């Protein structure tokens, strides 16, 4: 058998194994995106294809005051959850990467909340943050602090949801960072220590640059998941009080499955998709290794 035939055979086997995955990816991921764009230009009633109305859904959405409140709420949630999950996820990973007693048990304890169902987390924190009989307020009362109605006041409701989300998801970022930290060469850190580098110098000049790609992944996924928050909001506040916790996906859900404005809901989905796309592009640009790109271009010119 010639080399060409061997290559073709390997390519055929590769395509055969990948075909089911790409078929399902196209049906359940790619096709719905295009369908959503299509439906956003139509006024759709239940069980009908609807009628084409052009940009009317977009015009209505951009003139809806609630849309801007939803936009503000979603970014507020992102600002509450994102930095804490990223920074403290990294710090917890640093702590768990040390050779200390009980680190294996601690890793399990930190990650276990992430495998719980959103509904369970939401219901649990709804009781913990209850204004009258909540455990958290009972703890605050021990220090003479008045009860805080976390989920029934407009200025604290989103913070309460953020607290639940941080507890639930920080373990994921911790585990991702921990895996990256274990790949940092020990001999490099030891060499820097011998050369007189203190802990902060080793952290900022060796460890953080070494896990840069992991940080890119963590930041990207945290932003994407935060922009799509739904379960915690639905269970804990249902978007209230006074729409102070209503987020994009919750808003989409209400329009699609309560008011049955499917075309309008598709429009909300398109706007959310575009916002996430822009944020992802910005994050990619921030983490882009420009020095490496310049070196690659120089190498190509020399060749």
Tell me how far CA of residue 114 lies from CA of 144, 173, 247, 266, in angstroms: 33, 10, 21, 30
Q: Could you tell me the pTM of the whole model?
A: 0.89
Tell me if 264 sits within 8 A of 60, measured CB to CB.
yes
pLDDT in tens, 235-253: 999 998 999 999 999 999 9
Q: Please tell me the predicted confidence (pLDDT) of residue 299.
A: 59
d(CA 214, CA 173): 10
Tell me if 43 sits within 8 A of 267, measured CB to CB.
no
Domain range list for the chain: 36-302
pLDDT in tens, 275-289: 999 999 999 999 887
Q: Please tell me the predicted confidence (pLDDT) of residue 303.
A: 57
d(CA 166, CA 82): 9
User: What single DSSP character describes residue 27?
Assistant: I
d(CA 28, CA 188): 45
1, pLDDT greater than 60: no
Q: Please tell me the predicted confidence (pLDDT) of residue 301.
A: 60
Strand-pairing partners, residue 51, are 43
Q: Please tell me the predicted confidence (pLDDT) of residue 187.
A: 87
> Looking at the domain covering 36-302, what would its CATH class be?
mainly alpha
Q: For residues 192 and 278, which has the higher predicted lDDT (pLDDT)?
A: 278
pLDDT in tens, 130-186: 988 889 888 888 888 888 899 999 999 999 999 999 999 999 999 999 999 988 888
d(CA 199, CA 229): 37
Highest mean pLDDT out of 25-39, 71-85, 99-113, 256-270: 71-85
Tell me if 164 sits within 8 A of 232, measured CB to CB.
yes
| 16 — pLDDT class (breaks 50, 70, 90) | confident
Joined together, the tokens standing for residue 152 give 């029934």
User: 10 Å Cβ neighbour count for 173?
Assistant: 26
Mean pLDDT of 56-82: 96
d(CA 86, CA 73): 20
What does the mean pLDDT of the chain come to? 89
Q: Helix, strand or coil for residue 180?
A: helix
- Ramachandran region, residue 30 (left: φ > 0; alpha: ψ -120 to 50; beta: rest): alpha
């Amino acid at each position: 058998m010639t080399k060409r035939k061997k290559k073709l055979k390997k390519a055929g086997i590769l395509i055969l194994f990948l075909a089911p995955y790409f078929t399902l990816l196209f049906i359940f991921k790619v096709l719905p995106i295009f369908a959503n764009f299509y439906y956003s230009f139509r006024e759709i009633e239940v069980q009908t294809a609807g009628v084409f109305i052009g940009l009317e859904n977009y015009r209505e959405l951009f003139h809806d005051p609630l849309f801007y409140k939803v936009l503000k709420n979603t970014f507020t949630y992102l600002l509450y959850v994102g930095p804490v999950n990223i920074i403290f996820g990294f710090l917890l990973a640093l702590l768990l990467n040390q050779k200390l007693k009980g680190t294996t048990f601690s890793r399990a304890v930190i990650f276990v909340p992430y495998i719980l169902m959103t509904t369970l987390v939401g219901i649990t924190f709804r009781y913990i943050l209850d204004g009258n009989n909540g455990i958290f307020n009972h703890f605050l009362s021990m220090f003479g602090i008045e009860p805080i109605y976390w989920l029934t006041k407009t200025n604290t409701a989103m913070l309460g949801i953020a607290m639940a989300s941080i507890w639930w998801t920080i373990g994921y970022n911790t585990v991702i960072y921990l895996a990256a930290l274990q790949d940092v060469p020990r001999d490099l850190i030891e060499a820097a220590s011998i050369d007189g580098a203190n802990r902060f110098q080793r952290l900022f000049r060796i460890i953080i640059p070494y896990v840069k790609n992991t940080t890119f992944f963590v930041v990207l996924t945290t932003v994407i998941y935060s922009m799509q928050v739904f379960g915690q909001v639905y269970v804990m506040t249902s978007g209230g009080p006074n729409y102070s916790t209503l987020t994009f996906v919750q808003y989409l859900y209400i329009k699609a499955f309560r008011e049955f404005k499917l075309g309008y809901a598709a429009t909300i989905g398109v706007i959310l998709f575009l916002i996430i796309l822009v944020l992802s592009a910005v994050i990619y640009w921030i983490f882009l290794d420009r020095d490496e790109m310049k070196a690659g271009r120089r190498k190509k010119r020399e060749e």
